[in-house]
Structure 1
């Protein structure tokens, strides 16, 4: 893969960061290369190739963005990026926002989300000895930054943008490897209504994951997003619950309980619409999203093969018709 913006991490990780850890942590700027968005609701991606000769461990994320410019940012880990270009149009949900230009997904192979940011969320530093392994023996060979530019007024005078993330990393091997599981839905919201968008997946892998943090994401109709682990005997344990219109950072989970094979992970977005038309899941501000991100780690093991848990959403999928029992109806939809 070519292009002057595709760099080997080992070479360009040059700025030291002071941590409480007993090992060196470096700082790398993964930023948009001074792009000038010309289309509203544009999603742009830019990649870096990671040195394949060493394992790197990402231990922190420092956003370089404001919500006045970037609606949200996602950091993907990929086996292969979605394009060989230094920057490309990468609209989400296969929703081509600009049909006059070529679009490609963030990853063409091995897609997984590592980090997400919105609404002026602050930096995130992982717990001691927890890190995302990339490069080397990891399946993550590329990192791809995606930025959603909802509005373009700031760029009409010719200004450019370098929104992105400063990655904090180390070469010290970590025994606790981090992963992110994204729960979300498709579906649609009727006009003048309150609607539940719900997802649930049962862990089928012989692994134990330890939840660290959660993050919620909707657009303007979201009122509450809640996430649970459902234990045997239909015991619902709250992992996190948030107003999605507050800063969309990763918050510490409410219960640090191990999650094992046979446990079910579930999420609900409570949506309130005063609109006179239907609202669909999609990429623009006129659309909606229902996302609950669960960040976790595993001990002396690889993260889950399951990276995403999505359902069809309303009106075809609800917890109740999926056979879930003991649903905390009130608690799941109120703060």
Structure 2
């Protein structure tokens, strides 16, 4: 495992901190160490350990990958990595099968949270001014883990070093970034258009400021939409955070409504899926399965991000907004499924 990685670049950074450009940003290339994807539908993870004596703020992400090589990439923040190895098979949704080349483990051993996601040749992401993902000494993120999903086996002796270049600074930033991932389980009946839906109430005494969203499905996804729902005696107010065709580059797009989200508000997402096959399709890890994900990126002012990092339901046919425990009304049924 690579340890104390950011100080490798500390010489140039320290020079800049002592000069007038106090907010100098440096770059660290977080890449797969020339791995050989030896089988189809392989998820591989590699970790870096953040220097434990220093705080860092990640302010940008530059993908170093192609959709022809990597189906998608995730960067997880972890308190502990899933393995102490350099590379491991981290297909969380596989059926605990034994890999004959790599040890098998989850991306994180504890403290799992999504920091960044990429797919379909999405471009670089720069966070708003004053916003950064806090990692290192005073953060719960002590490790970063890069996960790459390889759909197809590589030929012998052909290796890969896909990954992400991280832009970072050691200057303290007043706004900490966070991500909450909304998603579902469930399955889609044959020759059927299905709504896969999820919702969670914000229960923490925090004010979060949404600024970007990302959608993710496999081939059956047509529209993915996300909302903040504000409850009142007059009825529910559904405010659109964002919606996209998930077959487009799966980048982080600016949110539609930047109104702060507070305790008692509900975050909700829907994936409209069109299963044209003569067989059911389930949520799963392979490209023959499906996924329904809506990522919401936000910042908090002089505070820490939400403790809750994930919002998942069982999905269809078990969970829908119309029968959710929250008792929703005024559901924007047509708007949520059309572009």
| Residue-by-residue CA offset, 1:220-257 (whole Å, 9 max, x unaligned) | 00000000000123000000000001000000000111
Which position in structure 1 is the counterpart of 2:144?
Answer: 143
**Cα pair 2:92 2:105 within 8 Å, conserved:** no
Shift of 1:95: 4.2
Query: TM-score, normalised on structure 2?
Result: 0.93
Which position in structure 1 is the counterpart of 2:320?
Answer: 318
Query: TM-score, normalised on structure 1?
Result: 0.94
Listed as ranges, the gaps of 5+ residues in structure 1 are none
The DSSP-based 3-state class of the residue aligned with 2:289 is coil
Indicate how the Cα distance of structure 1 residues 318 and 114 shifts in structure 2: closer, same or farther if over 3 A, else same. Answer: same
Q: 1:298 aligns with which of 297, 300, 304?
A: 300
| Residue-by-residue CA offset, 1:41-98 (whole Å, 9 max, x unaligned) | 0000000000011110000000000000000000000000000100000003354465
The answer to whether 1:331 aligns with 2:335 is yes
Q: Structure 2 matches for 1:46-125, cutoff 5 A?
A: 46-96=46-96, 102-125=103-126
Q: Structure 2 matches for 1:241-280, cutoff 5 A?
A: 241-280=243-282
**Cα pair 1:14 1:27 within 8 Å, conserved:** no
Give the Cα–Cα distance (whole angstroms) in 2 for the partners of residues 128 and 13 of structure 1: 22
Give the Cα–Cα distance (whole angstroms) in 2 for the partners of residues 7 and 29 of structure 1: 14
| Residue-by-residue CA offset, 1:123-174 (whole Å, 9 max, x unaligned) | 000000000000010000000000000112xx31421100000000000101
Which position in structure 1 is the counterpart of 2:24?
Answer: 24
Give the Cα–Cα distance (whole angstroms) in 2 for the partners of residues 241 and 13 of structure 1: 40
Shift of 1:9: 1.7
**Cα pair 1:211 1:253 within 8 Å, conserved:** yes
**Cα pair 1:95 1:283 within 8 Å, conserved:** no
Q: Structure 2 matches for 1:78-227, cutoff 5 A?
A: 78-96=78-96, 102-152=103-153, 155-227=154-226
Which position in structure 2 is the counterpart of 1:11?
Answer: 8
Q: Please, which moves more after superposition, 86-95 or 113-122?
A: 86-95
| Residue-by-residue CA offset, 1:176-200 (whole Å, 9 max, x unaligned) | 0000000000000000000010000
Which position in structure 2 is the counterpart of 1:230?
Answer: 229
Equivalenced residues, count? 327
**Cα pair 2:4 2:52 within 8 Å, conserved:** no
RMSD: 1.6
| Residue-by-residue CA offset, 1:18-42 (whole Å, 9 max, x unaligned) | 9xx8610000000000001011000
Shift of 1:320: 0.4
The DSSP-based 3-state class of the residue aligned with 2:294 is strand
Give the Cα–Cα distance (whole angstroms) in 2 for the partners of residues 157 and 168 of structure 1: 34
Indicate how the Cα distance of structure 1 residues 204 and 272 shifts in structure 2: closer, same or farther if over 3 A, else same. Answer: same
**Cα pair 2:201 2:266 within 8 Å, conserved:** yes
Indicate how the Cα distance of structure 1 residues 66 and 14 shifts in structure 2: closer, same or farther if over 3 A, else same. Answer: farther
